[in-house]
Amino acid sequence: VLLGKCRPIIGNDPIMYIPMTIFERSRLLRWQMGWLPGKPKPCTNCNRINALTTRSHVNECFQIDANLNMYIDSFLNKLPSTPPKSSAYKFFLKTRWIVLSDFLFQLESICLPPDEIINPDSSNNQPFIDWIYSRS
């Protein structure tokens, strides 16, 4: 199972050095390491009885794979190490990054106690999106 989540190329994972907020990086790393969603607890996002926050349930509950049009781990493996040149690929990355960031924040809201959640600042520009558009 874990082998399927590995990057196709041996090297540094772009999540470690591409620009993003510390909260986004933390959520992505915890997702990749299997620490998010964490210990299964009742899901407050859906009305299903006995639904627990397992990885498979949150994928289905939030329909994240459908919203990304791919698996989360596949998207993370496609993150570029340099800003892309193609405007179509920039748009692809931007739209999926917004969906992924929103999903991980909502998931963290369900899985962590309310006092441990840091609400993203809506006035904060998103460093990843600025980075992908930095090359003309």
Residue percentage of the chain with pLDDT more than 70: 82
pLDDT of res. 8? 60
Interior/surface letters 53-69, b for 16+ CB within 10 angstroms, e for the rest: beeebbeebbebeeebe
Confidence of residue 123 (pLDDT cuts 50, 70, 90): very low
In 3D space, the residue among 24, 29, 12 whose CA is nearest the CA of residue 128 turns out to be: 24
Reading the block at residue 116, the tokens are 């441990």
Phi, psi angles (nearest 5°) of residue 42: -60, 135
Task: Give residue-wise pLDDT tens across range 67-114.
Answer: 888 889 889 888 998 999 999 999 999 999 999 999 999 898 888 777
* 86 Cα distance to chain centroid: 22
In 3D space, the residue among 27, 34, 35 whose CA is nearest the CA of residue 2 turns out to be: 34
Task: Give residue-wise pLDDT tens across range 2-15.
Answer: 555 555 666 778 88
| Residue 122 reports pLDDT greater than 60 | no
Rounded CA-CA distance 35/80 in Å is 24
